[in-house]
């Protein structure tokens, strides 16, 4: 069994190739036959700051969508829909380009602490 | 229908390319390959082929564009020599690892420096470990035949590897030779239509090729290439048999000449095998049991066939038209000696490096080799493993 | 010009899950360029570099289209081969779908090691778009200087030392060199102006024949600026005339943006760690040299574009 490898995750994230497969089982020449299957690889845990959408302020100009390096702003029918937190790396560009300050950046640690505190209260 | 024609090796290669009618050729001129490119260009400009001809600015780009074309789903070819092959060296490895069935003639020429335009095999030997199939041709006829078979070998689903077809610069490439060519229809049917399994221009099934392959899979992909090389041996023989049916000419992994009862054998590639065969005929008349083994395929290395052909001999001389500077002789010597090691017949194997930079291999040089072998058998001793033939010492 | 509302409806060609650094300019640039290909089938070629290694770690691909990488110095040649195959197969009726071809290279793979292959591809007239994602150094190997690195920049092979204050030479003007190939379309653009990038990318895809785009695509790690400020920074690059926006269409040079006032280069240098040493006493002459170079090149550009040759008012 191939040891755990961060580049690969647990091997459950792709149907086609798993890390324990032998040379006869994996795809030929390193070809990848599932276009865009990188979206099954999560980069959200790189994030230290988290963008949070302020629905009331948003004017759906989609400048944030245009400038996201990780295609992590989901636009539906030409409107801001949601953040893809599985892939958002927390670069903060969206909050900076937003003309109406409808995106706030919060520390992930701080948010975790708040969540924890809330859970303790309950 | 077969036709006898008098053409040069380069013309024979270009003729084969015309009949194969590849979708894309990307090539750069270099002596002594230039004629191949020139002649083929005229086929393109006269509308005799469907080929898109990419007149690249270097051999590195020649192989790069050929890789792009092949990956896109085209039957693609290039052609080169010497420094050109050295410049595309990086891309030859990549063509193989991407498992692209690219066919490319290599008109063998010495590598610089000093610069020299004449024949030796140092160019081809530079890519012997690149994962490409290497076919060698004694004359223009074989160059023509091997080009056509190369397409089928390369594209076989068990193989999918680049195939280089080697012919001796000037000796074969520029000398007029009488050979038999097949008619266009026969070649067309023999090579068939290329149907890649996956290709970039498949709009319904986009594919990513040339990924970053780290320590978790790279090794496995290398193992796949080895398996393809192994499979190639069988495929080369199968294709050879099919080709015999349309041409009447026999092609296997090796060409064993008068080896059945031989005591002494010379192993040699390409045109020099012709000279060696001539010497063998003369020595046979004198009653000497001599033969020649000419590997047609150098990569994958046909060691089983070589073992089988040489198991009865007492002494073998491997003639290498390339140096390795390892102080252990030429590249083929090491491989042949390794193949014979397990036979435990105490076959003496010695090496002769010859013909570097186009130096002639004279018949008396070959006679001297057989003389030496006879002496080795008589004394039971081979004092010198590595010898130089035709060198002023 | 399509609105973002409309553009957001095209399929995403470069998906999340790639391993580019947070805030990398390349992610933004690639998404903008491929968005301009709209519904066409696309084959993307890539030179070795950050974009390629981060987007195709086996068995993953961030490319939602066909993609090929073969080596560092040959994206131009590789995509020419793909395009040649397309022409041949289409002519023979072996395929029927329409395709667009685009090659991405960093400044290393474009200005330097891949320059010959690019030049050859452009000269041969393949119907392809070559996009240089210029982040002004070899970032993938850890920030070494390239011929696109600006004068004075501190990189790991042009380190700011006690005697030599960073890179000694001004940048190569690649866009002008590509324009000199007399290709149908060559342009320089900056992600600070997404409309400009979109317009140029669309033109590049639409012209018959080769097109070249040079995009200023900052590297947060190599330039050492505050990551979220990428748009402001590329905007200052345009305002200071460090990175003019222009296009050359069928030999006609056109300036796309003329700054109203003279913004000194310090404004661009100051936010970036790679230029920090230039503000130490004794290095004033470097900034002065950078400014002179920029002003001279600006005047030359104005002349090529048939504009009055004057610097913006101070």
Q: Where are the domains of chain B?
A: 2-247, 255-389
Residues 6 or more apart in contact with residue A110 via CB below 8 angstroms: none
- Check: CB of residue B17 under 8 Å from CB of residue B36: yes
Does residue A6 lie within any of the structural domains? no
- The residue in chain C having the minimum alpha-carbon distance to the alpha carbon of residue A17 is C59
Residues 6 or more apart in contact with residue B392 via CB below 8 angstroms: none
- Tell me the per-residue pLDDT of C146-171, one tens digit each, with 9 for 90 and over: 999 999 999 999 999 999 999 999 99
Q: How confident is the model at residue B5 (pLDDT cuts 50, 70, 90)?
A: very high
Interface size, chain A vs chain C, as Cβ–Cβ contacts under 8 Å = 135
- Tell me the per-residue pLDDT of B149-165, one tens digit each, with 9 for 90 and over: 999 999 999 999 999 99
What is the rounded average pLDDT of the residues C105-129? 98
Q: How confident is the model at residue A9 (pLDDT cuts 50, 70, 90)?
A: very low
Question: Domain C4-305: what homologous superfamily?
Answer: Thiamin diphosphate (ThDP)-binding fold, Pyr/PP domains (3.40.50.970)
- Pairing type for strands A79-83 and B133-136 reads unpaired
Q: Distance (Å) from the C-alpha of residue B387 to the closest C-alpha of chain C?
A: 40
On the question of pLDDT at C236 being above 70, the answer is yes
What is the rounded average pLDDT of the residues C281-300? 97
- Tell me the per-residue pLDDT of B73-127, one tens digit each, with 9 for 90 and over: 999 999 999 999 999 999 999 999 999 999 999 999 999 999 999 999 999 999 9
Residue A6: count other Cβ atoms within 10 Å of its Cβ. Answer: 5
Q: Domains in chain A: how many in total?
A: 2
Beta bridge partners of C57: B212
A36 lies in the same domain as A51: no
Interface probe, candidates B203, B205, B217, B222, chain C, greatest C C-beta count within 10 A: B203
Q: Distance (Å) from the C-alpha of residue B207 to the closest C-alpha of chain C?
A: 5
**C237 to A99, B380, C230: CA distances (angstroms):** 21, 81, 11
Q: In the structure encoding, which two tokens stand for residue C90, read together? A: 């289409």
Q: Distance (Å) from the C-alpha of residue B338 to the closest C-alpha of chain C?
A: 34
Beta bridge partners of B212: C57
Give the CA count within 13 Å in the CB-facing half-sphere of C172: 18
- The residue in chain B having the minimum alpha-carbon distance to the alpha carbon of residue A24 is B224
Q: Hunting for tokens 């990038």 — which residue is that?
A: C197
- Tell me the per-residue pLDDT of B119-148, one tens digit each, with 9 for 90 and over: 999 999 999 999 999 999 999 999 999 999
Interface partners of A (3+ CB pairs, < 8 Å)? B, C
> What residues in A contact C22, CB-CB < 8 Å?
46-47, 69, 89-91
Rounded to whole angstroms, how far apart are CA atoms B49 and B366?
Answer: 43
Q: Which long-range contacts (CB under 8 A, 24 or more apart) does A11-20 make?
A: A13/A40, A13/A41, A13/A42, A14/A40, A14/C59, A14/C60, A16/C59, A17/B217, A17/C58, A17/C59, A19/B216
- Check: CB of residue B213 under 8 Å from CB of residue C58: yes
DSSP single-letter state for residue C109: I
Q: How confident is the model at residue B1 (pLDDT cuts 50, 70, 90)?
A: low
- Tell me the per-residue pLDDT of B253-262, one tens digit each, with 9 for 90 and over: 999 999 999 9
Q: In the structure encoding, which two tokens stand for residue B149, read together? A: 């078979």
Return the closest-CA partner of residue C258 out of C299, C229, C230, C291: C299
Rounded to whole angstroms, how far apart are CA atoms B315 and B290?
Answer: 10
A54 lies in the same domain as A82: yes
A18 lies in the same domain as A73: no
A52 lies in the same domain as A98: yes
- Check: CB of residue B55 under 8 Å from CB of residue C124: yes
DSSP single-letter state for residue C108: I
Lowest mean pLDDT segment, chosen from A1-10, C64-73, C189-198: A1-10
Lowest mean pLDDT segment, chosen from A113-117, B128-132, B375-379, C90-94: A113-117
pTM: 0.96
Q: In the structure encoding, which two tokens stand for residue B181, read together? A: 């060519």
A34 lies in the same domain as A61: no
Q: What's phi and psi for B267, nearest 5 deg?
A: -105, 120
Rounded to whole angstroms, how far apart are CA atoms B371 and B283?
Answer: 10
Rounded to whole angstroms, how far apart are CA atoms B321 and B303?
Answer: 19
Q: Distance (Å) from the C-alpha of residue B367 to the closest C-alpha of chain C?
A: 48
CA diameter of chain C: 68
What is the rounded average pLDDT of the residues B338-343? 93
Does residue A4 lie within any of the structural domains? no
- The residue in chain A having the minimum alpha-carbon distance to the alpha carbon of residue C65 is A35
Q: Where are the beta strands (DSSP E) in chain B?
A: 2-8, 24-26, 52-54, 76-77, 103-108, 133-136, 163-168, 176-182, 208-209, 254-257, 264-268, 290-295, 297-299, 315-320, 348-354, 386-389
Q: How confident is the model at residue A3 (pLDDT cuts 50, 70, 90)?
A: very low
Q: Do B221 and A32 touch (CB under 8 A)?
A: no
Q: How confident is the model at residue A18 (pLDDT cuts 50, 70, 90)?
A: confident
Q: Is A2 on the interface with C (CB under 8 A)?
A: no
Question: Domain B2-247: what homologous superfamily?
Answer: Thiamin diphosphate (ThDP)-binding fold, Pyr/PP domains (3.40.50.970)
On the question of pLDDT at A5 being above 80, the answer is no
The pLDDT assigned to B344 comes to: 83
Residue B302: count other Cβ atoms within 10 Å of its Cβ. Answer: 22
Give the 3-state secondary structure of C152-217: CCCECCECECCCCECCCCCCCCHHHHHHCCCCCEEEEEECCCHHHHHHHHHHHHHCCCCEEEEEEC
Q: Do C28 and A91 touch (CB under 8 A)?
A: no
- Tell me the per-residue pLDDT of B23-72, one tens digit each, with 9 for 90 and over: 999 999 999 999 999 999 999 999 999 999 999 999 999 999 999 999 99
Rounded to whole angstroms, how far apart are CA atoms B277 and B294?
Answer: 10
Does residue A3 lie within any of the structural domains? no
Q: Is A17 on the interface with C (CB under 8 A)?
A: yes
Rounded to whole angstroms, how far apart are CA atoms B196 and C81?
Answer: 16
The pLDDT assigned to B246 comes to: 97
The pLDDT assigned to A15 comes to: 54
Beta bridge partners of B179: B5
- Check: CB of residue C48 under 8 Å from CB of residue C140: yes
Task: Identify the CATH assignment for B255-389 out of 3.40.50.920, 3.40.47.10, 3.40.50.10420, 3.40.50.450.
Answer: 3.40.50.920
> What residues in C contact B203, CB-CB < 8 Å?
41, 97, 99
Does residue A93 lie within any of the structural domains? yes
Rounded to whole angstroms, how far apart are CA atoms B184 and B69?
Answer: 24
Beta bridge partners of A51: A105
Q: Do C17 and A43 touch (CB under 8 A)?
A: yes
Give residue A33's domain range: 12-41
What is the rounded average pLDDT of the residues C100-112? 98
Q: What's phi and psi for B158, nearest 5 deg?
A: -80, -15
């Amino acid at each position: 069994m191939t040891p755990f490898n961060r580049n690969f995750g647990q091997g459950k994230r792709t149907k086609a190739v798993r890390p324990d497969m032998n040379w006869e089982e994996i795809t030929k020449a390193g070809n990848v036959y599932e276009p865009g299957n990188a979206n099954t690889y999560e980069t959200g845990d790189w994030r230290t700051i988290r963008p949070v959408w302020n629905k009331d302020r948003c004017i759906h100009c989609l400048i944030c969508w245009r400038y996201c390096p990780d295609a992590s702003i989901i636009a539906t029918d030409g409107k801001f829909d949601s953040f893809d937190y599985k892939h958002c790396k927390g670069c903060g560009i969206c909050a900076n380009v937003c003309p109406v300050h409808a995106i706030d950046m919060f520390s992930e640690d701080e948010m975790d602490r708040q969540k924890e505190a809330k859970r303790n209260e309950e | 229908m077969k036709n006898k024609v008098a053409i040069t090796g380069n013309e024979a290669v270009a003729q084969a390319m015309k009949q194969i009618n590849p979708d894309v050729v990307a090539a750069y001129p270099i002596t002594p390959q230039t004629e191949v490119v020139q002649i083929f260009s005229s086929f393109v400009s006269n509308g005799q082929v469907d080929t898109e001809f990419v007149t690249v600015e270097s051999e590195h780009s020649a192989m790069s564009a050929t890789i792009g074309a092949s990956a896109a789903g085209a039957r693609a070819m290039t052609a080169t020599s010497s420094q050109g092959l050295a410049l595309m060296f990086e891309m030859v490895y990549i063509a193989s690892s991407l498992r692209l069935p690219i066919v490319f003639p290599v008109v063998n020429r010495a590598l610089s420096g000093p610069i020299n335009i004449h024949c030796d095999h140092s160019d081809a030997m530079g890519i012997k470990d690149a994962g490409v199939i290497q076919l060698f041709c004694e004359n223009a006829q074989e160059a023509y035949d091997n080009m056509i078979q190369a397409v089928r070998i390369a594209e076989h689903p068990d193989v999918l590897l680049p195939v280089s077809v080697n012919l001796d610069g000037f000796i074969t490439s520029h000398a007029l030779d009488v050979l038999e060519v097949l008619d266009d229809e026969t070649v067309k049917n023999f090579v068939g239509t290329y149907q890649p399994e996956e290709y970039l221009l498949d709009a319904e099934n986009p594919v990513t090729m040339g990924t970053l392959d780290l320590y978790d899979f790279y090794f496995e992909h290398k193992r796949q290439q080895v398996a393809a090389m192994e499979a190639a041996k069988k495929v080369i023989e199968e294709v050879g048999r099919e080709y015999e049916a349309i041409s009447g000419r026999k092609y296997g992994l090796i060409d064993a000449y008068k080896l059945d009862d031989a005591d002494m054998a010379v192993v040699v590639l390409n045109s020099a095998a012709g000279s060696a065969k001539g010497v063998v005929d003369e020595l046979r008349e004198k009653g000497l049991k001599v033969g020649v083994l000419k590997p047609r395929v150098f990569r994958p290395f046909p060691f089983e066939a070589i073992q089988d052909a040489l198991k009865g001999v007492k002494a073998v001389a491997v003639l290498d038209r390339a140096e390795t500077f390892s102080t252990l002789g030429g590249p083929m010597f090491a491989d042949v000696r390794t193949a014979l090691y397990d036979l435990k017949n105490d076959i003496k194997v010695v090496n002769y490096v010859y013909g570097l930079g186009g130096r002639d291999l004279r018949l008396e040089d070959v006679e001297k080799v057989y003389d030496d072998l006879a002496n080795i058998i008589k004394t039971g001793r081979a004092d010198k493993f590595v010898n130089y033939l035709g060198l002023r010492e | 010009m399509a609105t973002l509302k409309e553009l957001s409806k095209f399929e995403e060609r470069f998906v999340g899950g790639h391993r580019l650094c947070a805030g990398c300019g390349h992610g933004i640039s690639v998404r903008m360029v491929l968005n301009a290909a709209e519904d066409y089938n696309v084959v993307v070629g890539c030179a070795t570099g950050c974009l390629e290694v981060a987007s195709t770690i086996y068995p993953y691909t961030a490319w939602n289209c066909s993609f090929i990488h073969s080596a560092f110095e040959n994206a131009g040649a590789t995509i020419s081969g793909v395009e040649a195959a397309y022409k041949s197969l289409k002519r023979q009726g072996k395929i029927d779908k329409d395709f667009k071809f685009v090659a991405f290279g960093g400044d290393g793979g474009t200005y330097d090691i891949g320059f010959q292959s690019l030049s050859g591809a452009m000269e041969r007239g393949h119907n392809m778009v070559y996009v240089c994602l210029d982040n002004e150094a070899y970032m993938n190997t850890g920030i070494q200087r390239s011929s696109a690195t600006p004068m004075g920049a501190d990189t790991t092979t042009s380190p700011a030392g006690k005697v030599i204050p960073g890179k000694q030479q001004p940048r190569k003007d690649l866009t002008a060199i590509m324009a000199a190939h007399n290709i149908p379309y060559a342009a320089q653009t900056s992600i600070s102006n997404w409309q400009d990038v979109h317009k140029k990318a669309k033109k590049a895809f639409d012209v018959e024949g080769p097109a070249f785009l040079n995009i200023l695509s900052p590297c947060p790690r190599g330039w050492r600026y505050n990551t979220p400020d990428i748009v402001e920074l590329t905007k200052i690059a345009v305002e200071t005339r460090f990175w003019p926006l222009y296009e050359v269409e069928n030999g006609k040079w056109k300036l796309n943006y003329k700054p109203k006032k003279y913004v000194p280069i310090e404004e661009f240098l100051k936010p970036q760690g790679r230029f920090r040493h230039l503000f130490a006493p004794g290095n004033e002459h470097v900034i002065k040299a950078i400014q002179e170079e920029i002003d001279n090149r600006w005047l030359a550009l104005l002349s090529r574009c048939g504009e009055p040759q004057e610097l913006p008012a101070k």
